[in-house]
Structure 1
Amino acid sequence: MSFRKQSDGKWLLDFYPEGKPKGKPAKRIRKTFSTKGEAIAYENHVMENIHIKPWLDGKEDRRKLCDLVTQWFDEHRVTLDDGEKREGTMEFACLSMGDPSAHEFDATMFSNYRKKRLSGEIARTARVKQVSPRTMNLELAYFRAVFNELKRFEHWKLENPLLNVRAFKSEEAERAYLEYEEIEKLLEECLKSRNDSSYWVASLCLATGVRWEEAESITTKRIKNLKVSFFKTKRNKNRTVPISNNFFDSLPKPEKPGRYFNPCYSDFRKAVERAELDLPDGQLSHVLRHTFASYFMMNRGNILILQRILGNTDIKMTMRYAHFAANHLEDAIRFKPLERKK
C-alpha cells in the first residue's frame, strides 16, 4: 500500500518507483506529508520523471556518459582492433559536450555537438582539426554501438538515445588508380630510396591488392607454394592470394626466418613526392590497392573473386570497382541512344 495515515495525522508515502522485484534491490521512497493530496501529487511527480532519474540496483543511476564508454571499452577491447582509438574519440566527445550524465545524453545534445564540430567551433577552442561529415558519421556509429552493446548485456535499461539520429549523406570519395607509366615512375623512385623495402612492399601491394601494413609485416612463414597468406587483417578475415613464380623468385630472401621487409612507409611517402603523383587526400599507399582492383576489373576479372582477394565483407565495397569492367565500358558505347538510332 503506497499511502498510510500515521498516528500523528500525517500521511506516509511508501512505494517502489520501478516495482519491487523478487530477490533484487530496488529503489524505495518513504516520505511523510501533511495531507494525502500532497503525497499523491509527489508520487505522480516521481512517476512522471522516472526516465530522468532512472534507478540502478536500487540506487539512482548517476553514471556519466564517459563511464559507459569506459565500461564498454573494458568489456570489449579484446574484440576490436581500434578499440583504444574509439575510446579516445568518444572521451573527447564527452568532454566537448560538457561531461554529461548518461541519462542527460540524448539526440539533441549529440546533434548540437555535431553541429559545433563541423562548424569548426570546437576545433578552434580545443585546437584540434576540423572534421568532415564522414568522421561525424563514425562517431555516431561509435556511440550507438556503446548503448546497443550495454543494452544487450543489461547494463543499460532504456532505449538507445541515438536510435533515430540519421547519419549524414556523404559523397563517395574519389578512388584514384595509377597508369602504367605512373607505376613505373613510382617504383623507380622507390628503388632510389635508402631503404629498398619500399620497392618490394609497393610491388607486393600491386601484385596482391593488400593494404600497406599487411604487406609490410609479411613473414617468411606466410609465403609458401606461390601463395601469400594474410592473418589478423583489418576485417579479421584470413585470406590467401596467389603470386607468380617470377615475382616470388625476384623477392629478396631473408637470411633467417622472420619479416621480409623493414619498416619503410616514410621512404614510400618520399618516393611518391619525387614521382610527383597527384593523389587524393588519404590515398597515399591505398592507391596501390585501388590500382590492383581497377586493373583486375579492366582485365575482365570476376567481381566475386575480387571480393575474396580484397577481403571485403560486404560486396558493396567491391562494387565500387565494377565500373572498370571492360564489358561495362563497351556497353556504354553499344547501348547509348545514338548507336541504337543508327
Structure 2
Amino acid sequence: MIKKTTSGWQVDIQPQGRGGKRFRKIFANLAEAKNWEAFIRSSTNKDQDWIPEKKDLRKLSEIIKIWYEAHGKNLSNERDTYSRLKNMVTALKDPIADQLTPQMFTKYRSERIEGGLSLNSFNREHSYLRAVFNELIRLNLWKKANPVSAIRQFKIADKELGYLDADEIKRLLTELLDAEKNSDVYLIAKVCLSTGSRWSEAENLRPSNIKKGVIEFINTKNKKMRAIPISKELQDEIQAHDVKENGRYFGSSMGAFKSGVARAGIALPDGQLTHVLRHTFASSFMQGGGNILTLQKILGHQSLHMTMRYAHLAPTHLEAVKLLNPLVNL
C-alpha cells in the first residue's frame, strides 16, 4: 500500500501476507515509492530464506476441524474421538495451536487427573491429540513439530485378567438361556466363548458372515477381517436364529448379559464385563497347549505384546527354569 503523508509518500506492505514481515519507508515522490515497492516484492519472491517464517495463527479448534474433515470422519469411532478432542480444546481454552506447549498440556493433565480421570483414560486422550498432529504432518497440513509428542504417557500397571472357570461358564450360560426378555444374549456369549471375539463383533453378525463352518468378523477394531472356525452345532444354532429387520442376527444385549452375570453370582474385575468372555477363550486356548502366535491371529491383536498377557497360562510356560537355573549344576 502506498499513501500520501505529511512527510512524503509512504510505502507500507507485507508481501507474504498476514503474519509475514512488514516493510515501511517514506519517499519524496510517488515514482520512487512505486519503484521501491516493486523491488521489495520482487526480492521477496526470489529469495524467501531470509524472511521470518510466517506465523500460524490458527486456533487448536481449527486444527482439530481440519483433521476431522481430512481424516477423522472416516474412523469407525469418529463421533466419540471428535467429541473428546473438542472437550480437550475447551478445557485448554482453545489456544493458538502454534503456541500449545508441553507445559500447557502438562497443566491440563494435572487438572484432569485431580478431577478424577484415570491415568489410562488420560493416556487415551493424549494419544488422540498426538495422532491428530501426526496425521496432519503426514498430510502436509501442519508444518511444525508435534507439540505433544515429547510428553511421555503414564505407565499403567497390568490389570488382573479375569476369566471364568468351567463351573462359572455353565452357571452363566444357564442364566443367559433363561433370560426372559432377551433371546439373543445366550448365543452372543457362545460365539464369544467359541471364537474369542469381542462382544460388539459377535453382536453385529449377519448371515453373510457365516460360511462353511467359519465366522468372518468384518467390522473389527483394527479394520482387518478375521475368519475363525466354529463347530457345525454352533453354526446350525446361529443360522436357525431369527434375523432382525436390520439384517443382523442379534440386537443390543449387553444389559441382559450384565443381569445374567449378576444372577449367576459371578464377581468380575472392574471394566471387564463382556470382555471376560474373550479372556476366558484366550485362557482356555493357552491352558490347552495352544500356540501364542496362533492366538494372536485369532484375537486380531496387531502387537504380540497384547497377546503375551496370556503366555503364562501355557502348561510349559517357563518350565526351562527348573532345568537351567544355576543350582542344577551344583
User: Do they fold alike, i.e. is TM over 0.5?
Assistant: yes
Q: Cα 1:326–1:96, aligned 2, differ >3 Å: closer, same or farther?
A: same
The equivalent residue for 1:283 is: 272
Which among 109, 128, 137 is matched to residue 123 of structure 2?
137
CA distance in 2, matches of 1:11, 1:78: 49
Deviation at 1:25, TM superposition (A): 9.3
CA distance in 1, matches of 2:9, 2:106: 47
Q: Cα 1:196–1:11, aligned 2, differ >3 Å: closer, same or farther?
A: closer
Amino acid at match of 1:77: G
Contact 2:243-2:250 within 8 A present in 1 as well: no
Which among 68, 71, 80 is matched to residue 75 of structure 2?
80
The equivalent residue for 1:244 is: 231
Instruction: Give the TM-score, by structure 2 length.
Output: 0.82
The equivalent residue for 2:316 is: 327
Q: Cα 1:168–1:26, aligned 2, differ >3 Å: closer, same or farther?
A: closer
Deviation at 1:221, TM superposition (A): 1.5
- Once the two structures are superposed, the pairs formed by residues 305-320 of structure 1 within 5 Å of their partners are 305-320=294-309
Which among 166, 186, 191 is matched to residue 204 of structure 1?
191
The equivalent residue for 1:65 is: 60
CA distance in 2, matches of 1:294, 1:230: 21
Deviations 1:270-313 (A, max 9, x none): 00111121111111000000000011001001111111111111
Contact 2:72-2:82 within 8 A present in 1 as well: no
The equivalent residue for 1:270 is: 259
Contact 1:230-1:240 within 8 A present in 2 as well: yes
The equivalent residue for 1:30 is: 23
Runs of 4+, deviation exceeding 3 Å = 6-16, 249-252, 254-258, 329-338
Contact 1:253-1:260 within 8 A present in 2 as well: no
Residue range with higher mean Cα deviation, 254-263 or 87-96: 254-263
Give SS of 2:157's match.
Answer: coil
Instruction: Give the TM-score, by structure 1 length.
Output: 0.79
CA distance in 1, matches of 2:6, 2:179: 94
Which among 156, 163, 173 is matched to residue 177 of structure 1?
163
The equivalent residue for 1:298 is: 287
Deviation at 1:12, TM superposition (A): 7.4
Q: Cα 1:192–1:333, aligned 2, differ >3 Å: closer, same or farther?
A: farther
Q: Cα 1:202–1:106, aligned 2, differ >3 Å: closer, same or farther?
A: same
The equivalent residue for 2:178 is: 192
Pairing 1:229–2:216 present: yes
| Uncovered stretches (5+) of structure 1, i.e. residues with no partner | 1-5, 34-49, 56-60, 121-129
Q: CA RMSD in A?
A: 3.1
| Uncovered stretches (5+) of structure 2, i.e. residues with no partner | 27-51
The equivalent residue for 2:150 is: 164
CA distance in 2, matches of 1:236, 1:262: 22
Deviation at 1:96, TM superposition (A): 1.0
CA distance in 1, matches of 2:128, 2:319: 42
CA distance in 2, matches of 1:107, 1:25: 27
Amino acid at match of 1:260: Y
Contact 1:205-1:289 within 8 A present in 2 as well: yes
Contact 2:12-2:23 within 8 A present in 1 as well: yes
Which among 201, 217, 224 is matched to residue 214 of structure 1?
201
Pairing 1:116–2:111 present: yes
CA distance in 1, matches of 2:147, 2:311: 38
Contact 1:208-1:241 within 8 A present in 2 as well: yes
Contact 2:60-2:96 within 8 A present in 1 as well: yes
